[in-house]
Amino acid sequence: MLKIWGRATSANVMKVLWCCDELGERYERIDWAGPFGGNDDPKYRAMNPTGRVPTIEDAGNVIWESNTIIRYLCDTRHGEALYPTDPAKRSAVERWMDWQLAHLGGAVTPLFMGYVRTPAEKRNPAALEKARIEAIPVIQIAEDALAHQGTQYLAGNSLTIGDIPVAIFMRRWFAFPIERPRMPKLEAWFDRVKTRPGFVAHVAVPMV
Amino acid sequence: MLKIWGRTNSSNVMKVLWLCEELGEKYERLDWGGQFGGNDDPKYRAMNPNGRVPTIEDNGNIIWESNSILRYLCTTRGNDKLYPKDPGKRTLVERWMDWQLANSGGAMTDLFFGLVRTPPEKRDAAKIAKALRESGDIWGIVERHLAQTGGPYLAGSDFTLADIPNGIHARRWFGYAIERPNLPHLKAWHDRIAERPGYKKYIGVPLS
């Protein structure tokens, strides 16, 4: 059975759990990292030199980097609907996964650290306001793309693994106690993705 | 002919140019971004809502996000060596591409902007020192991986897409006038890939 190392509260682990649900894939998950420790365990580091979660083991393959894991799962579990094989269509999915890693994550994480991982009395309001202002044009990119494309999802009119990483970080964005400018296409998209059972089970959980 | 928008001193544009050399792919490139402007040009944003470089056009397909471009080009040009078709082998390449993206902000960027894009009299020495320490830790992951696996390349015995994004950032690391921690496997890997024509032509140029 597919084995997943990683605490269920990790955004990157959530990608894998949600993707497994979309694929109907069963798995065994081991609580790892965060309060469970293990990042510097020598055996874990031998599997995954970054020490981060998730890592998976499948049919003798040890795989790390969450976006790489979900691409692998789709390619090995007939997940063409989630991850098309046509190269151009495939790139339209992959760009959103790359964008989450390179841009969205960095915009949302300072707010996450401030509002979720820092007690209220220790927050730096000026820094958080700066982070909010800087995040807005990044979030706007997804709004602009959806508006321009006129599609229901980021890479077309059905859910793909392009939507999964972005949705996990947007779940955070929409939950912070901040003012957000209206982004009607993005909000409609988010209302759509949050109905997926995989989102409900693994992403719509309290942020810690 | 393949069309590429992007200035040659962009690390992400360099990825595509280096790959084109590896593939023997001819292209037409337009100077775009940075000192050439165009990031907010409405026609450019209609192609690439992220507004960054590179973007490519190939057979009517518009592709953005540099790592997605690399995957697309290998797939459409039938290059299995740089980007294996076997799903398990493929993950050995992709994880390093994702890893580069996930580490592209933060310390690596602070170091580059601090040392290359900021005149000496305006540099924040403390910020640069912190970025240097953290970058050393980040590169330490690659060092340990190469020491453990024997390389000689990031994904194993062959040069692959894994080596391109990381090679570009390693060139920067080794190009700074700073004291670096001793990472001999990283250095040996870098020096090996620096022999490749694609590196010599597009990467081994002065930092700007």
ipTM summary value = 0.97
Nearest to A141 among B49, B88, B144 (CB): B49
Q: State how far the Cα of A38 lies from the Cα of B124, in Å rounded to an integer.
A: 35
Nearest to A49 among B49, B64, B144 (CB): B144
Cβ contact B97:B70 at 8 Å: yes
Whether B93 shows a pLDDT value over 90: the answer reads yes
Whether A200 shows a pLDDT value over 90: the answer reads yes
**A148 contacts B46? CB cut-off 8 A:** yes
Cβ contact A165:A97 at 8 Å: yes
CA distance A57 to chain B (A): 11
CATH for B2-76 is 3.40.30.10
- CA torsion sign for B103, A190, B69, A16 is positive
- Chain A residues near residue B100 by CB distance under 8 angstroms: none
Q: State how far the Cα of A107 lies from the Cα of B110, in Å rounded to an integer.
A: 15
| pLDDT average, residue stretch A37-51 | 96
| pLDDT average, residue stretch B43-59 | 97
Query: CA B65: distance to chain centroid?
Result: 12
- The predicted-structure confidence for B26-45, as pLDDT tens digits, reads as follows 999 999 999 999 999 999 99
**B104 contacts A87? CB cut-off 8 A:** no
Half-sphere exposure of A126 (CA within 13 A, CB side): 0
Closest C-alpha among A163, A173, A150 to residue A195: A163
pLDDT band at B104 (very low <50, low <70, confident <90, very high): confident
Nearest to B91 among A45, A68, A98 (CB): A68
* CB-neighbour burial class of residue B206 (10 A; exposed 0-12, middle 13-18, buried 19+): exposed
| pLDDT average, residue stretch B146-168 | 97
For the CA atoms of chain A, what is the radius of gyration? 17
**A101 contacts B98? CB cut-off 8 A:** yes
Cβ contact A134:A195 at 8 Å: no
C-alpha distances (whole Å) from A153 to each of A158, A208, B147, B162, B172 are 6, 27, 43, 29, 37
| pLDDT average, residue stretch B105-120 | 93
Name the helix (H) or strand (E) containing A27: strand A27-30
Nearest to B68 among A46, A94, A144 (CB): A94
**B101 contacts A98? CB cut-off 8 A:** yes
Closest C-alpha among B103, B114, B123 to residue B170: B103
* CB-neighbour burial class of residue A86 (10 A; exposed 0-12, middle 13-18, buried 19+): exposed
Can you point out the beta strands (E) in chain B? Answer: 2-5, 27-30, 55-58, 61-64
Residue A53 in tokens: 């979660």
| pLDDT average, residue stretch A46-52 | 96
- Chain A residues near residue B63 by CB distance under 8 angstroms: 88, 91, 95
Closest C-alpha among A97, A5, A52 to residue B71: A97
Q: What pLDDT is recorded for position A47?
A: 96
Q: What pLDDT is recorded for position B98?
A: 98
CA distance A162 to chain B (A): 12
| pLDDT average, residue stretch A19-42 | 97
- Chain B residues near residue A102 by CB distance under 8 angstroms: 65, 101-102, 104-105
CA distance B94 to chain A (A): 6
- The predicted-structure confidence for A130-175, as pLDDT tens digits, reads as follows 999 999 999 999 999 999 999 999 999 999 999 999 999 999 999 9
Half-sphere exposure of B147 (CA within 13 A, CB side): 13
Q: What pLDDT is recorded for position B148?
A: 94
CA distance A64 to chain B (A): 6
pLDDT band at A43 (very low <50, low <70, confident <90, very high): very high
Q: What pLDDT is recorded for position A140?
A: 98
Task: Answer yes or no: same fold for B2-76 and B87-202.
Answer: no
- The predicted-structure confidence for A83-124, as pLDDT tens digits, reads as follows 999 999 999 999 999 999 999 999 999 999 999 999 999 999
Name the helix (H) or strand (E) containing B47: helix B42-47
C-alpha distances (whole Å) from A20 to each of A54, A156, A190, A192, B182 are 13, 21, 20, 19, 41
Name the helix (H) or strand (E) containing A132: helix A125-149
Tell me the domain boundaries of chain B. 2-76, 87-202
Q: What is the mean pLDDT of chain A?
A: 98
What domains, with CATH codes, occur in chain A? 2-76 (3.40.30.10), 87-200 (1.20.1050.10)
Task: Provide DSSP, A58-124.
Answer: ETTEEEESHHHHHHHHHHHTT-TTTS-SSHHHHHHHHHHHHHIIIIIHHHHHHHHHHHTSS-GGG--
Which class does domain B87-202 fall in? mainly alpha
Which of A61, A68, A134 should we substitute to test contact with B (largest number of B Cβ atoms within 10 Å)? Answer: A68
Q: What pLDDT is recorded for position A120?
A: 96
Query: CA B20: distance to chain centroid?
Result: 13
Q: Which residues contact A178 (CB under 8 A, 6 or more apart)?
A: A111, A115, A128, A132
DSSP-assigned beta bridge partners for residue B156: B153
Whether B105 shows a pLDDT value over 90: the answer reads no
Neighbours of B149 (CB within 10 A): 16
Which of B91, B146, B186 should we substitute to test contact with A (largest number of A Cβ atoms within 10 Å)? Answer: B91
Q: What is the mean pLDDT of chain B?
A: 97
**A99 contacts B65? CB cut-off 8 A:** yes
Q: State how far the Cα of B67 lies from the Cα of B56, in Å rounded to an integer.
A: 12
